[in-house]
Amino acid sequence: MLLSNTVAIITGGARGMGRGIALKFAEEGCSSVIADVLEAEAKKTVVEVTKRGREAVFVRCDVRDSRQIQNVVDQTISKFGKIDILVCCAGVGAHPTSIEDISEEEWDRVLDINLKGIFLFCKAVVPHMKERKSGKIINVVSLAARSPGNALIHYAASKGGAATFTVGLALEMAPFNVRVNAIHPGVVRTDMVADLAPVGVTDVDAFLKVLAKIVPMQRVGTPEDVASAALFLASDLSSYVTGDELVVGGGMPWSMPSEMVEKK
C-alpha cells in the first residue's frame, strides 16, 4: 500500500472531494482525522474509512478559527502521535457576481474560508512536520486560480492566493523535507457546483451537462479523479515533487472560454 501506517488531517472531508480523498487514502493504509463543520456527513465519512480497515475520527472545525484548528492538531497528535499528511480541502463556492454587487461581508467570507483557512491550518501543522523533518501538504485549490472566468473575482482571488501561498510555502519547507503541492480541480461533480452556478440555475444535472460539453474529455470530473491525484502527491511516488500545481481538469483550462455558460 502506498500510505501504510500514515495519518492525515483532511479538512472538508465530510463530503465531495475531501470525502473521496479520505476513502482513497484509507484504501492505501492511511488513517484520517476529518475536520469539518458538517457533523452528520463527516461521521458518515468516518464510518466509510473504518470499513476500509483504517481508523478515523471527526473533529468539528471551522477553518476560520485558529483555536479550533489547533484543537484538531492537538487531538490528532494525542491519538495518533504524528501528522504525516495535511489535505486542505475545505472551501466554499460563490455565485457569479459583478464586483458592484459583491458585499464586503461576502468577500471576507470567501477569502477567509478559501485562503485564510489554508494559511491557518498550515501554520498550525508546520512546526510538527519541521520537527519530524517529514510531511506532505496538499492544498486543493481550483482552476479558477489560473482562469478566473466571468464575474467570479472573489472566488478566483481566494484560489489565486491559495496557489501562490502553496508555492511560497513549498520553498520555505523544502529544506525540512516537507513537500507542499496544489491540486487544481476543474469541473467536478460535488455539492459546490450549485454554489458556483449562475443565480437562477436550479437543475444542477442539466448545468453539469452543459459544462461537460466545454471540457475536452467531454465529461465532468469525479471526487475519485481528484483523490487519485492527491494519493500521488501524498505518496513516495512524488518524493521529488514540491511547489507543483497538478491540474485535474480533463484538458481544461487550455480550452476554457471566457464565459463557461452563455448568457440567455
pLDDT at 141 over 50: yes
User: Whole-prediction pTM value?
Assistant: 0.92
Note whether residue 212 is domain-resident: yes
Residue 155 designated active-site: yes
Residue 257 lies in a domain: no
Structural domains of the chain, count: 1
Is residue 199 pLDDT above 80, yes or no?
no
Q: What mean pLDDT value characterizes the chain?
A: 93
Checking if the pLDDT of 256 tops 50, the result is no
Containing domain of residue 147, as a range?
6-250
Angle between helices 153-173 and 117-132 (to 10 degrees): 10
Contact criterion met (CB below 8 Å) for 222 and 189: yes
Q: Is 139 contained in some domain?
A: yes
Residue 258 lies in a domain: no
Residue 3 burial by Cβ neighbours in a 10 Å radius (0-12, 13-18, 19+): buried
- In the numeric block, which cell numbers belong to residue 61? 472545525
Q: Does the residue 264 lie in any domain? A: no
For residues 114 and 157, the answer to whether their CB atoms sit within 8 Å is no
pLDDT of 262 reads 38
Euclidean distance between CA atoms 221 and 246, whole angstroms: 14
CB 32, CB 7: distance < 8 Å: yes
Task: Spot the catalytic one: 155, 184, 189, 248.
Answer: 155
- Spatial distance between the Cα atoms of 81 and 61, rounded to a whole number of angstroms: 20
Query: Quick check: is 223 in a domain?
Result: yes
In a domain, 262, yes or no: no
In this structure, the chain runs to a length of: 264
Q: Say if 192 falls within a structural domain.
A: yes
Q: Could you tell me the pLDDT band of residue 66, with boundaries at 50, 70 and 90? A: very high
pLDDT at 35 over 80: yes
Contact 185, 17 (CB under 8 A): yes
Cα–Cα distance measured from residue 249 to residue 205, given in angstroms and rounded to the nearest whole number: 18
144-179 pLDDT, tens digit each: 998 887 778 999 999 999 999 999 999 999 999 999
Is pLDDT above 60 for 259? no
Q: How far apart are CA 237 and CA 231, in angstroms?
A: 9
- pLDDT average, residue stretch 81-103: 94
Q: Which 3 state secondary structure label does DSSP give 63? A: coil
102 exposure class (CB count in 10 Å sphere: 0-12, 13-18, 19+): middle
Query: CA gyration radius for the chain?
Result: 18
76: domain CATH number?
Answer: 3.40.50.720
Please give the backbone phi and psi of residue 109, each rounded to the nearest 5 degrees, phi first: -60, -50
User: Given pLDDT bands bounded at 50, 70 and 90, which one contains residue 255?
Assistant: low
Assess whether pLDDT exceeds 90 at residue 102.
Answer: yes
